[in-house]
Amino acid sequence: MTAPVKAYKTYTEQVDLLASRGMGIADREAAIQQLQHINYYRLSGYWYSFRRQGPAGRDDSFYTGTTFADVVRLYSFDASLRTATFASLTPIELALRALLGHALGTIDECAHLKPALLGPRAGQGTSYVTWMQRYKKSLADSKEDFVKHHHAKYGGTLPVWAAVEILDWGALTYLYGFSPRQIQDDIADTFGLTAPQLESWMKSLNVLRNICAHHGRLFNKVHALKPKLPNVGRLPELDHARQEMNRTFGQLTLIQYMLQALNVGRLQLLPAVLRSYPDVQLLPISHIGAPRDWSTSPLWS
């Protein structure tokens, strides 16, 4: 038998509940005001790690020293981290579009519309057909001036170097996977990676981008996708985060590396935000996957 829907609680009752479970609340009115601005269940993702660990999992009670103020500080840090991560991903996404559109253009102006000119994956199963349906919808929905221009002058057919500009990151990743292997290798070589490695990075960073775009939580996140890395020593810049590639810090390390490889973006943006991690005794910066000496790495210094 399923449990009934949880009973409604006023902001005051929510504060009382947290206090009864051991959370320190120095200013009740300030806490109520915060809960009016930030949903209780959104904040709960930030106090989850403060909950006591019991034999059957997390208890409802909090470790001694847990405070509402620290939870809000972590939430605010995470908001800044999301903003910086999204901003850092943007020039990488734009560069990948430019690289792929230009490379496919050397094959044919409309290589994206001609699966016979692409790699073997474009002819296997239904993935290319599904991608094409997605592409046509993006084309129909686009309000970009260059799309209107191509409708008026070329019947709506976009050359591949223009087509990449209406693709979201996921569709761009699929087009990279459909591309001839030589093109995949040439683009991957920009980063010192193999084609499968770069494709796995693109997939992982697409998920990370979507988390940022939809106001998701990066703090203490364990990501389902784990990007592939070269062997130890092949790209030593990444080795310090190798064991944390399914944690947020590991994936931020990929971003920082790609920014440097492409020579784009603001290289000091992410390091500055990470240095602002709040001084929360119970939850140090290792809770985002960062090693104690993270800031000494050449990527982050």
What is the pLDDT at residue 29?
Answer: 97
Q: What own/partner pairs with CB < 8 Å and gap ≥ 24 does 153-158 have? A: 157/110, 157/113, 158/110
Within a domain: 179: no
Within a domain: 64: yes
Within a domain: 41: yes
What is the pLDDT at residue 301?
Answer: 86
Within a domain: 31: yes
Within a domain: 16: yes
Ranges of residues in the chain with a pLDDT under 50 are: none
Within a domain: 117: no
Q: Which domain holds residue 63?
A: 11-72
In DSSP terms, which residues pair with 247 in a beta bridge? Answer: 222
Within a domain: 183: no
What is the pLDDT at residue 100?
Answer: 98
What is the pLDDT at residue 259?
Answer: 98
Count structural domains, the chain: 1
What is the pLDDT at residue 141?
Answer: 85
Within a domain: 24: yes
